[in-house]
Structure 1
Amino acid sequence: MNSGLYVGTVRHRRFTPVEHSFSYPMFMPLIDLDELEELQRTVKGFGKSVSNFARFRPLDFMNDPSAQEQVRVIDPQSLKQAVLAKVENLTGERVQGRVMMLCQLRYAGVYFSPLNMYYLHDEQGNWRWVLAEVSNTPWNERHYYAVPAGSRYHNPKAFHVSPFNPMSQEYHWRLKAPEKHLVVHLDIRSSDGEQKIMDATMVMKRRPFTTKVLWQLITATPVQAIKIVIGIYWQALRLWLKGAPFYNHSPSKQIPSNQEWNSK
């Protein structure tokens, strides 16, 4: 089985204009969308039904409430097709293999995920792209970045996430394929790429996607979405008390496609 549960730590470090850092434990399922039906049969308490404590609700993903035109995701296969179509729109490449999604589930009916990662593979099983689905709060907006597999990549920031970061910044990505370990690292730099403002790192270790392991993790953090949202606002308060500059919400901006940006 390709699917698994990943357990580890998320760390944020801010270097300027004020110093600030924190880390916290986190677990996230990695789901092969072609294996969802099998997972529902074998893992108790997990699935699409509203009766499951750890609910996989397709409508929670790839549906931007603020978008004028949005893909209607109603089941795992339409979700997979929405991911493939989004990456084709951003990169010009149509990938036809499996899609693995690293995500948050809806626990006890509550859902929020600041970042979902979709790992796209070609028909030969080679990892080709990551689609990063970024959400903000309280605006409940979403934005999508396509990142090439196995390489360092940078792109302009196009989406307001933190009121303590301006829009004139760049994202510098470093990714590791989700195998025994999973690594997502993001440097946030000045718009010229010279000054490192902050970074965020997620390092996780794979565990089997079984009923026993899932419920061990749920018992430790019953409603992870609430923990995430409380953590976001608590860290924002700490930054404000430290005197970090505050930037008002800005609308998303158009950035060059991956092909145009890479040619610069």
Structure 2
Amino acid sequence: MELLYLLCSLLSTTFSSLILSLLLPFRHLFRRVVAASSVADAGNSILLYQGTVWHERRRPVHHSFRYSVRYALIDLDRARPHVPPDHLSGDEARRAAETNGPVFLLTIPPSVGYEQNPLSVYYCYDVEGSTQTLKKCIAEVTNTPWGERVSFLFNPTSDLVAKPLHVSPFMDMLGNWSMQANEPGDSLRLVISVQHPELGNYFTASLTAKRVTSSMAGDHAQFFWLMPHKVALWIYWHALKLWWKNVSFIQHPRYQSPMYREEALMRDKNMRCCRSFGGNELNNSHVEGRKSDPVAETRNGHHFTWRDAKWPWSYELKIILKELQEVGSSWGSYKQLGSSWKKWAVYWAMRRLLGINSWIIVKELQEVKSSWEVTNSWNHYGRNGQSLGDEAIAGR
């Protein structure tokens, strides 16, 4: 069922991204004519970076790669209309980090209806007089393809965090993340290495980028065109290469230990207690969640906040499906029940996928329409598009 959903999602994303890409030149033209001032305002609060992501795995087999990437550094207080959805606001980040200054979000914005963000970082500043100092960072880590997310604070100069999320199916949950981030300026750098009790320091990932100031950054939609798609392609492609190299595939820990999040919290607590006795005690960290799992900590150390996976990756749905299958077996009509259940699930998945993407397309069409001279024929198409969007939402 998960494989079917993944294939449907890939096809649906490809179709919707193709349609929205065809509309992109029209959006660019009309925005230059009627929305030049709003783009300029957004440019003052959004800095663009271009650089390289590098991964190296040293054990049990060597595997390394690098690819070009583009990021946006968004001032969450000045660029509110342009902040990507499903992220913390500036006020929420300040409350989490206990800071009083500006907050900047480093992320890959959605492109033509698709979003892929393995890691987003909030840079939280403190202001004392005329001095502005980077005090804390908040990491938002999202795994692929499940779409689970964990948020936590870390010290940008150097910090060690017990791995709280199943990020890669080729890594277990026993590693600790060593994280460093410099203050963004003309360039930025972020480094994460994994320390494992058996494999040692066996994995390193880094982002190195420079600020883009050329004319190519004038239109954000063109600058980030298909950037999330490229990131997803690299993730799946190198997962396939690791599988080909016979690296062990590790199932999601929720199947072996539903309490894996609590176990991660305990590992982090023990690790930080040891560091505290060693004279390297770190400040308390708290990330208040929204749309998150209630599992959290109120003790010294990191405070993790999880967001559960959406259908069909959610663990609760798998439990329901398993119970239905057991009921069907006991009734002696498993095949009939399983067949009807699968047909219903496939139908619901297709309705949901098509509904989401058709509504995205309709919104883009309406945005183009708002910049065009209104005609009777276009008004007629807009009414049909609106009804399509309403049906899509109802289908969700």
Match of 2:91 in 1: 81
Establish whether residue 142 from structure 1 lines up as the match of residue 152 from structure 2: no
Question: Residue 130 of structure 1 is aligned with which of 127, 133, 137?
Answer: 137
Query: How many pairs does the alignment contain?
Result: 221
Write 1 or 2 for the structure with the bigger share of helix: 2
Identity %: 28
Establish whether residue 196 from structure 1 lines up as the match of residue 162 from structure 2: no
Match of 2:392 in 1: none
Q: What TM-score results when the alignment is normalised by the length of structure 1?
A: 0.76
RMSD: 2.4
2:74 is paired with a residue of what secondary structure? strand
Cα shift at 1:81: 2.2
Cα distance in 2 for partners of 1:230, 1:203 equals 20
Question: Residue 84 of structure 2 is aligned with which of 47, 57, 63?
Answer: 57
Q: What TM-score results when the alignment is normalised by the length of structure 2?
A: 0.52
1:121 is paired with a residue of what secondary structure? strand
Establish whether residue 10 from structure 1 lines up as the match of residue 53 from structure 2: yes
> CA 1:57/1:4 → structure 2, altered by over 3 Å: closer, same or farther?
closer
User: Superposition pairs for residues 58-207 of structure 1, below 5 Å?
Assistant: 58=85, 60-62=86-88, 79-87=89-97, 94-124=98-128, 125-149=132-156, 151-191=157-197, 195-207=200-212
Cα shift at 1:204: 0.4
Contact 1:156-1:191 at 8 Å conserved across structures: no
Write 1 or 2 for the structure with the bigger share of strand: 1
Cα distance in 2 for partners of 1:186, 1:214 equals 31
Select the structure with the greater relative contact order (CA < 8 A; seq sep ≥ 6): 1
> CA 1:121/1:103 → structure 2, altered by over 3 Å: closer, same or farther?
same
> CA 1:5/1:261 → structure 2, altered by over 3 Å: closer, same or farther?
farther
Q: Deviations over 1:200-258 (max 9, x none)?
A: 010000124x874144x754762111111121111100000001111111245242469
Stretches of structure 1 that go unaligned for 5 or more consecutive residues are: 38-46, 49-55, 63-78, 88-93
Match of 2:299 in 1: none
Contact 2:137-2:155 at 8 Å conserved across structures: yes
Cα distance in 1 for partners of 2:164, 2:210 equals 30
Q: Deviations over 1:8-27 (max 9, x none)?
A: 00000000001101100001
Cα distance in 2 for partners of 1:205, 1:190 equals 31
> CA 1:242/1:200 → structure 2, altered by over 3 Å: closer, same or farther?
same
Cα distance in 2 for partners of 1:221, 1:98 equals 24
Larger Rg: 2
